[in-house]
Amino acid sequence: QVQLVESGGGLVQPGGSLRLSCLASGIIFRLYGMGWYRQAPGKQRELVAAITSGGSTTAADSVKGRFTISRDNAKNTVYLQMNSLKPEDTAVYYCKVRYIGNDYWGEGTLVTVSS
């Protein structure tokens, strides 16, 4: 059974940093690409950043230079380091894996950027 559990969200002031973690189980983690998505109130879910099984990364233009995705295959965990946070980064952040043609999502972790 594939499970993804996000953690690390919280309240942070503008300009601050957070690191999100997503622990995966039920898959051979090192074989799969992973993605971080976010959904702000009243908006559609959007891709934030993704990392392939080989470690290549992509990021949305809105977060390039501020957010970094990485993975630790020994810990079955993908991370999202978020720096220089802005109020518009406020959202629920989800990780996702596509496994045997199906998308699996975690329950999300809330990030609130506010003074």
Per-residue confidence (pLDDT) for residue 91, from 0 to 100: 98
Residue 114 DSSP code: -
Confidence of residue 20 (pLDDT cuts 50, 70, 90): very high
How many residues are present in the chain?
115
Amino acid letter, residue 83: N
Given this model, what pLDDT does residue 3 score?
97
What's the pLDDT tens digit per position in 53-108? 999 999 999 999 999 999 999 999 999 999 999 999 999 999 999 999 999 999 99
Residues whose CB falls within 8 Å of the CB of residue 64, separated by 6 or more in sequence, listed in order: none
Position of tokens 């946070």?
85
Closest CA to 25 of 102, 92, 104: 104
